[in-house]
Amino acid sequence: MDRTLIANTTVLDGSGAAPFSADVLVEGQRIVAVQRGGGLPRDEARVIDGAGSTLMPGLIEPHGHVSYPDAPSNSAFTSLPPEEHVLITMRNAKTMLDCGYTSVLSGASAKPRLDIVIRNEINAGRLPGPRYLANGPEITVTGGLGDENELHLPHIETPTFAWVADGPDEVRKICRLLVREGTDLFKLNVSGHAGPPDSRADRAVMTDAEVAAAMEIAQASGVRVCAHARSADSVKMCVRHGLGIIYHANFADEEALDLLEANRDWCFVVPALGLSYQACYAGSDWGFTPEVVRARGLMKQLEVSIDTMGRMRKRGIRVLPGGDYGFAWNPHGTYARDLLLFVDVLGFTPMETLVAATRMGGEIMGRPTELGQIKPGFLADLLLVDGDPLTDIKRLQDRDALLVIMKDGRLHKSP
């Protein structure tokens, strides 16, 4: 059996406990021993000297868009031919792993089967990429986020960025089609997107019956559901229907926060702060000038998000970093910037942030007993980082500082 011993290293095990000196032994796909103080036998093992480095679990992206092509608009996703789109998605999957992200839960695919085919190729060992929960296109309603159809253009039967469904029967049909194709998740656009003056972000655009229809098919088929839900009523709608992966939630009111806190054992919130932050502070080249940012309410949205996430942190609601990478102003390869934003903007400690990106990541992936921590029996998804990410979380943005990247016990990057 393939054996790797990472010796003489500092272990940040993902549990929230203080780092400790240890040897870690990997056999096959799993961690078999963690010996505090070192001293594990080196017989028949590949030995990696971890002196001066920190061994931590692989990072987990809970709102991935692996198929989003760093384009400046949603319509650019649609116009990109499928042949080129497959190649771009393949490259993005490798980039995620190169950046130390060993698992990704998809927050939607830009075309119906992109996530599915890339996941299958990764699982078969034919492509490098993270462990992958595949999604379909975002499911929206007429006039909702992603409905960019125009009356004078021909109707497109096969969806791309978003699939428009009105009424529970249409939602059921789309969900059944996605189950047939092999998706792991559905994505519902329960609310609108931008802040004031776009009032759609302040209200749910889907009905209870439409959300219930998706949950009905999901529960019958053994798949999960995530939701774009910015408004307070959309967050409450998600919790009422047992939908526990909630993206954004920035306009959550006290009643919504009470619901999230009461159900924090199964609810997750992923604010995807980076997209708004970059639009406000680094988006001028793509039309997000200060005037546009103010007019579209994006700065107000960011300010509200910071306040809301701070209140969630105090209530012990599970808030996870990451999300919405794949736009021109928020490109692939910059995922770990969200970790810095959690510390510098949202006020989380580095330890809280890294626990959210590892242990809680394993929880949102649905594998809390084998992903996101360094413990015997867990899958060997590991990063060996030059230095200490607790004292300098920006280290995780530097690919050169990732000395070793291991997924499933296999070295993607060797020292």
pLDDT for residue 152: 63
**Together in a domain, 384 and 308:** no
CATH number of domain containing 94:
3.20.20.140
330 in any annotated domain: yes
pTM of the model: 0.95
* pLDDT score of 200 more than 80: no
Tens of pLDDT, residue by residue over 54-70, are 999 999 999 999 999 99
pLDDT band, residue 150 (cuts 50/70/90): low
pLDDT at 1 over 80: no
Could you tell me if 24 and 38 are in contact, meaning their C-beta atoms sit under 8 angstroms apart?
Answer: no
For residues 359 and 267, give the distance between their C-alpha atoms in angstroms, rounded to a whole number.
15
Residue 297 and residue 394 share a domain: no
Pick the last residue of a domain from 335, 357, 392.
335
Spatial strand order of the sheet with 138-140 comes to 162-164, 138-140, 185-189, 224-231, 245-251, 268-270
**41: nearest Cα among 27, 20, 23, 22:** 23
Nearest to 332 by CA among 112, 124, 87, 65: 65
pLDDT at 222 over 50: yes
With a cut of 90, say whether residue 182 has pLDDT above it: yes
- The DSSP letter of residue 71 is B
Q: Based on the fold, state whether residues 88 and 114 are members of the same structural domain.
A: yes
Is 306 part of a structural domain of the chain? yes
SS3 assignment, position 61: strand
pLDDT, mean of residues 27-43: 95
272 within 8 A of 254, measured Cβ to Cβ: no
Asked if residue 63 and residue 19 are part of one domain, the reply reads no
Tokens of 240: 């009422």
Instruction: Please tell me the total count of domains within the chain.
Output: 2
- Do 34 and 135 sit in the same domain of this protein? no
Least confident range from 199-203, 304-308, 318-322, 405-409: namely: 199-203
Q: Are residues 276 and 199 in the same domain?
A: yes
Alpha carbons 343 and 354: distance in angstroms, whole number: 10
Decide if 366 is inside a domain: no
Tell me which of 304 and 158 has the higher pLDDT: 304
- Asked if residue 361 belongs to a domain, the reply is no
What pLDDT does 142 receive? 86
For residues 69 and 52, state if they share a domain. no
Alpha helices in 59-185 (DSSP H): 74-79, 82-98, 114-123, 168-181
Q: Do 31 and 74 fall into the same domain?
A: no
Q: What is the pLDDT of residues 116-126, one digit of tens each?
A: 999 999 999 99
Q: Can you read off the two tokens belonging to residue 318?
A: 């599970």
Note down the domain range covering 189.
Answer: 59-335
- Based on the domain organization, do 93 and 51 belong to the same domain? no
Task: Compute the distance between CA of residue 255 and CA of residue 245 in angstroms, rounded to an integer.
Answer: 18
